[in-house]
């Protein structure tokens, strides 16, 4: 079979018992180790959190004072509508750094090492998504902290508020897989944001996050706002934080989250196998 | 089954480029196999196939008897890879990089930490252990990358151009490390563009050109095929280059290469006694030498002898690596 002839060797490699497959428990452990890697990176370079620290502040101030008086009569009344809407918006926006970071990792060759290690195939991607949770945490803390400085108050109980953030988190995790997918198909890290914006802008702004009422919109836009899961997420978060209907909106948002994962996760895994 | 690396008939095509055109390789435990060749020869592609990162279009490869495609999970427990672009995590410290690998290999927290400390010590990185890898020099990064590959004590270690871009001191440190790994019984497959490196380290050298192994053997065998050494002569007066070339041709019995711009005359020569002969002839002719030496042939000269053409980068591959990614 070979043309290279090796001098006779008597040494045989030591017989180590080798695992034939990676179990689910191990896969989770690998993912958590890689999530730890991402969180540690943030610890060393906190400036990477600058976008998620500034984004909620800038959006809150801008929207509140630009639209507040016109939409709700006063900035205070608008804040009650806006802040839950921004929870939904930030849950989507905060995923954008992930794709860029992933694309950078792939270009640097770190993933080559991961792929030559006996770890679950999905671990580098799952780990990246789980590690990105830190950014979600920061964005939500800054948003609610700064919002309450401006006068926002929760009108519901602690459990309802926690449920609102849990719902936003689940949706965020789902959208993360879209970001991962873009990170895997983008030709370079610089292009990731541009591609992501094309998908994210209509999703975020063609929704009820800024205006709960769609009456002044043209019919086609009303239809889009209605089916847009970000609308359902924003409405469910409103219900859970300042009062209003929750169940239908929440179920709809969760169904969309599940749908996104079911489509984006296998696609991302396929791209990952092909790309890296 | 004594070979730890065995590959037969590997082919791989990227678009219109044939990266591998039927490559056979073999290496036994405790030995170093060097893949020598220019950019685009297919070295990196071969390594990526053997390290389970890339599926070959045809052919078979086994690591310690395990097929790299069907038994990839087992193969990954036996190998380690240090890529051409050092694949440590820039943002993490040296310690964190090694702990991460240890944890991924299933070590407990304490074991991963002590293994990391032990390797940092061995690679003379203890002082930089707490600093982010992005602050490291090129040589330190490469050492950290090697350390990361050794966390799991692999049976087979793949090193893709481990010393490219390193200064001579850092290079010899890497060489020392590789010798240590091999002494421990592991197999090392390294790719290199330097004959000197292959000569220093390898038990066997496979010379690759455009996706094929065009020659293989021990360093001594290859060197004897290429005339062993190269005779280099340069006349102090550029106008005498022609006369010098005639003398070299006469003494070595070959047609020497003449580089017009520099006036350098080179010819393969196996017998060191040729050197005084050249000196004598030049003396008789009243010619002065600005440069007169025996040295190991360069990769280009090896190529010229083995393939009849100069070592050159493969079509369109100088800026794009084997995977079609920008290098």
Q: DSSP states of B24-59 as a string? A: EEEE-TT-EEEEE--TTSSHHHHHHHHTTSS--SEE
- Interface check for B157 against chain A (CB to CB < 8 A): the answer is no
pLDDT of residue A8: 39
The DSSP code for B126 is G
d(CA B131, CA A34): 19
Q: Is the pLDDT of residue A86 over 60?
A: yes
pLDDT of residue B228: 66
pLDDT of residue B6: 95
Tokens 């000269």 belong to residue: B301
Q: Is residue A82 part of a domain?
A: yes
Chain B residues close to A5, C-beta within 8 Å: 26
CA distances from A178 to A1, A129, B121, B196 (A): 45, 11, 42, 48
Q: DSSP states of A137-201 as a string? A: HHHHHHHHHHHHHTT----S-HHHHHHHHHHHHHHHHHHHHHHHHHHHH-SSHHHHHHHHHHHHH
Chain B residues close to A184, C-beta within 8 Å: none
Q: Is the pLDDT of residue A176 over 90?
A: yes
Q: Is residue A16 part of a domain?
A: no
* Domain hosting residue A106, numbered range: 27-37+47-275
Token readout for B257 is 């290469």
Q: Is residue A209 part of a domain?
A: yes
- Interface check for A20 against chain B (CB to CB < 8 A): the answer is yes
Q: What is the mean pLDDT of residues A69-77?
A: 84
CB-count burial class (<10 Å; 0-12, 13-18, 19+) for A133: middle
Q: Is residue A214 part of a domain?
A: yes
Region of A55 please: left (phi>0), alpha (psi -120 to 50) or beta.
alpha
B22 touches B46 (CB < 8 A): no
Q: Is residue A75 part of a domain?
A: yes
Q: How far is B37 from chain A (nearest CA, A)?
A: 17
> What is the tens place of the pLDDT at every residue in A113-160?
888 999 998 999 999 999 999 999 999 999 999 999 999 999 999 999
pLDDT of residue B320: 37
- Interface check for A23 against chain B (CB to CB < 8 A): the answer is no
- Interface check for A127 against chain B (CB to CB < 8 A): the answer is no
Q: What is the pairing mode between strands B66-67 and B17-27?
A: unpaired
Q: Over the Cα atoms of chain B, what is R_g?
A: 22
**Going by C-beta distance under 8 Å and a sequence separation of 6 or more, which residues neighbour residue B24?**
A1, A2, A3, A4, B7, B8, B9, B10, B213
Q: Is B148 helix (H, G, I), strand (E, B) or coil?
A: helix
- Interface check for B52 against chain A (CB to CB < 8 A): the answer is yes
The model carries a pTM of: 0.80
A5 pLDDT tier (thresholds 50, 70, 90): very low
pLDDT of residue B86: 57
Tokens 């948002």 belong to residue: A253
Tokens 């304490």 belong to residue: B110
Q: Give the residues across from B156 on adjacent strands.
A: B79, B187
Domain B5-223: assigned CATH number? 3.40.50.300
Closest to B74 (Cβ–Cβ): which among A18, A34, A37? A18
Hey, how many other C-beta atoms are within 10 angstroms of the C-beta on A170? 17
Chain A's closest residue to B70, CA to CA, is A20
d(CA B232, CA B248): 9
CA distances from A70 to A37, A64, A85, A210 (A): 46, 10, 17, 12
CA A175 to mean position of chain CA atoms: 5
Chain A residues close to B68, C-beta within 8 Å: none
CA A207 to mean position of chain CA atoms: 18
Interface probe, candidates A2, A39, A97, A134, chain B, greatest B C-beta count within 10 A: A2
B205 touches B219 (CB < 8 A): yes
Q: What are the domain boundaries of chain B?
A: 5-223, 229-295
Whether residue B28 and residue A10 make contact (CB cut-off 8 A), yes or no, is: no
Whether residue A3 and residue B24 make contact (CB cut-off 8 A), yes or no, is: yes
CA A69 to mean position of chain CA atoms: 32
B298 touches B233 (CB < 8 A): no
The predicted complex's ipTM stands at 0.82
Tokens 């290098």 belong to residue: B327
Interface probe, candidates A38, A112, A188, chain B, greatest B C-beta count within 10 A: A112
pLDDT of residue B312: 60
**What strands, in cross-sheet order, belong to the sheet with B289-295?**
B257-259, B264-269, B229-235, B289-295
pLDDT of residue A244: 86
Tokens 């709960």 belong to residue: A212
Whether residue A2 and residue B25 make contact (CB cut-off 8 A), yes or no, is: yes
Chain B's closest residue to A5, CA to CA, is B26
Q: How far is B143 from chain A (nearest CA, A)?
A: 15
In CATH, which of 1.10.132.50, 3.30.70.100, 3.40.50.720, 3.20.20.80 is domain B229-295? 3.30.70.100
Residue B82 — φ and ψ, nearest 5°? -120, 115
Domain count across chain A? 1
- Interface check for B30 against chain A (CB to CB < 8 A): the answer is yes
A31 pLDDT tier (thresholds 50, 70, 90): very high
pLDDT of residue B236: 86
In the stretch 220-279 of chain B, residues with CB closer than 8 A to chain A read: none
Chain B's closest residue to A272, CA to CA, is B53
Handedness of CA B163, B168, B172, B174 (dihedral sign): negative
**What strands, in cross-sheet order, belong to the sheet with B5-14?**
B17-27, B5-14, B58-63, B66-67
d(CA B53, CA A106): 13
Q: Work out how many CB contacts closer than 8 A connect A with B.
A: 139
Q: DSSP states of B80-107 as a string? A: EEE-SS--S-TTSBHHHHHHHHHHHTT-
Closest to A68 in 3D by CA, of A187, A152, A159, A173? A152
Kindly report the CA angle at A98 between A96 and A103, in degrees rounded to 5? Answer: 110
A214 touches A226 (CB < 8 A): yes
> What is the tens place of the pLDDT at every residue in A194-235?
888 888 888 888 898 888 777 788 889 989 998 999 999 999
Own/partner contacts of A41-50, CB < 8 Å, gap of 24 or more, are: A41/B89, A41/B91, A41/B92, A42/A134, A42/A135, A44/B91, A44/B92, A44/B93, A44/B132, A45/B91, A48/A97, A49/A134, A49/A135, A49/A138
> What is the tens place of the pLDDT at every residue in A233-252?
999 999 999 988 889 999 99
Closest to A101 in 3D by CA, of A224, A193, A167, A9? A193
pLDDT of residue B311: 66
The segments of chain B whose pLDDT lies below 50 read 1, 314-327
Q: Is the pLDDT of residue A3 over 90?
A: no
HSE, CB side, 13 Å, CA atoms: give it for residue B107.
18
* Helices within chain B (DSSP H only): 43-50, 72-78, 94-104, 109-122, 138-150, 168-183, 195-201, 219-225, 241-252, 274-284, 299-307
Q: DSSP states of A197-242 as a string? A: HHHHHHHHHSSSSS-S--TTS-HHHHHHHHH-HHHHHHHHHHHHHH
Q: What is the mean pLDDT of residues A154-169?
A: 94
């Amino acid at each position: 079979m070979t043309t290279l002839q090796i001098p006779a060797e008597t040494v045989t490699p030591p017989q180590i018992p080798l695992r034939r497959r990676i179990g689910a428990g191990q896969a989770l452990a690998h993912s958590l180790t890689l999530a730890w890697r991402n969180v540690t990176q943030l610890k060393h370079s906190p400036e990477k959190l600058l976008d998620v620290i500034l984004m909620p502040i800038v959006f809150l101030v801008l929207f509140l004072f630009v639209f507040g008086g016109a939409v709700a009569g006063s900035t205070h009344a608008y804040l009650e509508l806006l802040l839950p809407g921004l929870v939904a918006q930030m849950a989507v926006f905060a995923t954008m750094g992930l794709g860029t970071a992933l694309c950078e990792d792939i270009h640097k060759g770190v993933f080559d090492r991961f792929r030559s290690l006996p770890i679950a195939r999905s671990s580098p991607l799952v780990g990246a998504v789980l590690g990105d949770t830190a950014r979600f945490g920061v964005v939500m803390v800054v948003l609610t902290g700064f919002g309450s400085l401006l006068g926002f108050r929760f009108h519901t109980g602690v459990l309802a508020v926690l449920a609102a953030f849990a719902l936003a988190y689940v949706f965020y995790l789902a959208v993360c897989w879209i970001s991962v997918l873009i990170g895997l198909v983008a030709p370079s890290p610089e292009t990731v944001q541009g591609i992501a914006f094309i998908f994210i802008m209509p999703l975020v702004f063609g929704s009820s996050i800024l205006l709960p009422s769609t009456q002044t919109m043209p019919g086609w836009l009303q239809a889009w706002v209605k089916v847009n899961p970000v609308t359902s997420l924003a409405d469910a978060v409103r219900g859970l934080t300042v009062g209003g209907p929750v169940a239908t909106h929440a179920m709809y948002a969760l169904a969309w989250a599940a749908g996104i994962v079911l489509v984006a996760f296998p696609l991302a895994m396929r791209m990952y196998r092909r790309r890296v | 089954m004594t070979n730890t690396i065995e590959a037969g008939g590997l082919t791989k095509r990227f678009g219109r480029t044939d990266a591998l055109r039927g490559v056979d390789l073999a290496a036994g435990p405790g030995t170093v196999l060097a893949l020598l060749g220019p950019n685009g020869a297919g070295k990196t592609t071969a390594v990526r196939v053997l390290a389970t990162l890339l599926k070959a279009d045809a052919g078979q490869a086994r690591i310690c008897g395990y097929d790299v495609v069907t038994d990839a999970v087992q193969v990954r427990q036996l190998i380690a890879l240090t890529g051409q672009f050092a694949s440590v995590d820039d943002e993490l410290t040296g310690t964190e990089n090694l702990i991460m690998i240890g944890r991924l290999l299933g070590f407990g927290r304490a074991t991963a930490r002590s293994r990391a400390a032990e390797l940092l010590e061995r690679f003379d990185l203890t002082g930089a252990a707490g600093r982010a890898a992005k602050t490291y020099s090129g040589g330190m990064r490469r050492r950290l990358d090697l350390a990361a590959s050794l966390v799991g004590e692999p049976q087979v270690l793949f090193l893709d151009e481990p010393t490219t871009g390193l200064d001579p001191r850092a290079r010899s440190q890497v060489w020392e490390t590789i010798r240590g790994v091999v002494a421990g019984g592991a197999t090392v497959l390294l790719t290199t563009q330097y004959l000197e490196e292959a000569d220093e380290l390898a038990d066997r050298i496979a010379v690759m050109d455009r996706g094929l192994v065009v020659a293989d053997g021990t360093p001594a065998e290859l060197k004897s095929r290429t005339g062993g050494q190269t005779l280099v002569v340069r006349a102090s007066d550029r106008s005498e280059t022609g006369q010098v070339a005639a003398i070299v041709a006469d003494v070595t019995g070959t047609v020497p290469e003449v580089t017009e711009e520099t006036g350098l005359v080179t010819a393969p020569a196996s017998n060191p006694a040729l050197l005084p002969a050249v000196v004598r002839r030049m003396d008789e002719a009243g010619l002065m030498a600005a440069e007169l030496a025996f040295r190991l042939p360069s990769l280009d000269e090896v190529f010229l002898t083995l393939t009849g053409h100069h070592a050159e980068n493969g079509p369109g591959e100088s800026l794009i690596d084997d995977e079609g990614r920008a290098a």
